[in-house]
Structure formats: C-alpha cells, structure tokens
Amino acid sequence: MKNDLMLIGEIADFFGVSRKAMRLYEKKGIIKPVKTDAANGYRYYSADQVQQLNALLELKALGFSLDEIKLIIDGKTAKAPLLEMLEKKRKAWLETMNSAKYKEECLCEIMKNIQDSRAAQKLTEMTEEERAWLLVKMVCLEDVRAQKALSEALWL
C-alpha cells in the first residue's frame, strides 16, 4: 500500500509548500493524511489528496482563506452559496484591479508632470524647501492649492 502513497515531505516538495503548511492543512481538517504510521508518525497521502492539495493551492492563490477553502473542498457548500463566495472574490479582485489601474494612471500623470516641468530639471540645485514644494506640485494630483494653504497655516 505504501507504494501508492506519498510521504508528507514528498508531496510538500512536489508542490513547493512546507511540511509545516501541510500539518496546518491537516490541523484545519482540509487535507488529512490517508494513513499515519503509528511507529514513526509519518504521514502518507493518496493521489486524491494530491488533487485536493492542488485545488487548495489554486484557491489560495485566488485569495481564499483556509476556512473558505475547507468549505469548498469539503463539498458542504451548496451551489448557490458557493457561487456567492466565488462572486464575492471576483468582485474583490475587480476592486483590486481598478485600484491598481488608478495607481498606474496616477504614476503616468506624475511622470508627465515631471517630464513637462522645466523646474524639475534643476531638482539637484534646489533647496530642500523648494524641492519639497515642487515635488508636491508634481506628485499630488488632488487640489495642490488646498494642501499648500493647509501646510502654510500649519507652519505659521
């Protein structure tokens, strides 16, 4: 029977996870070894469990928590709640993508501001205060005047 099974170290190495992670998955009840040797404590995993670990790692890469993964892998989640869980995760990824897109657009705007600025060519020649104000103008894409007024009021 041992020929059909993989040791915890073998399955962990194959998937690039630690033995500690495998024991955590066992403790959480997600992937339990099909056999544990009573004499030495070695854990053995079957081909089905290799597939479960593959699914676990894919779901983890998609941002699911171990508790959510347990529900999915156990099959105790009905179709509608499972679809809700997947849709919630999809929306979270969309928000992350939109946030990343906004940040990318901001960086493009900052780069454009710096490229278009004659003053930016003399950054190394400026005093710290001049450089700080120039960078505020270049980097802060929101209402710079309001920030400047607030900053000046704070420094008075």
Query: For a pLDDT cut of 90, what percent of the chain falls above it?
Result: 47
Label the pairing between strands 6-7 and 35-36.
unpaired
Residue 7 has a pLDDT of: 92
For domain 2-74, give the fold: Multidrug-efflux Transporter Regulator; Chain: A; Domain 2 (1.10.1660)
Rg (CA), the chain: 27
Q: Note the pLDDT tens digit of each residue in 90-149.
A: 999 999 999 999 888 888 888 887 788 777 777 778 888 887 887 777 776 555 445 556
What is the rounded (10 degree) CA torsion for 22, 28, 34, 37? 70
What is the distance in angstroms between the CA of the first residue and the CA of the last residue of the chain?
Answer: 80
Domain boundaries, the chain: 2-74, 117-156
Average pLDDT, the chain: 84
